[in-house]
């Protein structure tokens, strides 16, 4: 097992994490571990995008990356997420 550590946050965030963990029947530590494991880093997202482009027979250039980011921004905007 890894050595435990502390993360400083506001009481508001801690309380929200406690509620979320309780609703899922888990602990704050487990909730944070699951979140960290589920979320990709920027480098991992780039690697997966390049792999997907290769599978499609597309060279993953900066232009392809830009077009892809713009497309996802439009999709999120139409889904009620972040504005494009």
pTM for the model stands at: 0.58
Kindly tell me if the per-residue pLDDT of 35 is higher than 90.
yes
How far is Cα 7 from Cα 69, in angstroms, rounded to an integer?
32
Give the count of beta carbons closer than 10 Å to the beta carbon of residue 10.
8
Give backbone dihedrals phi and psi of 39, rounded to 5 degrees, phi first.
-80, 135
Kindly tell me if the per-residue pLDDT of 84 is higher than 50.
no
Using pLDDT thresholds of 50, 70 and 90, give the confidence band for residue 81: low
Kindly tell me if the per-residue pLDDT of 63 is higher than 50.
yes
Computed over every residue of the chain, the mean pLDDT equals 91
């Amino acid at each position: 097992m890894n050595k435990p550590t502390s993360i400083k946050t506001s009481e508001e965030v801690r309380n929200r994490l406690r509620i979320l963990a309780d609703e899922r029947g888990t602990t704050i530590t487990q909730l944070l571990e699951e979140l960290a494991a589920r979320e990709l880093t920027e480098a991992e997202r780039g690697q997966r995008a390049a792999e997907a482009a290769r599978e499609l027979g597309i060279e993953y250039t900066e232009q392809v990356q830009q077009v892809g980011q713009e497309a996802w921004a439009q999709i999120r905007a139409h889904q009620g997420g972040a504005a494009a």
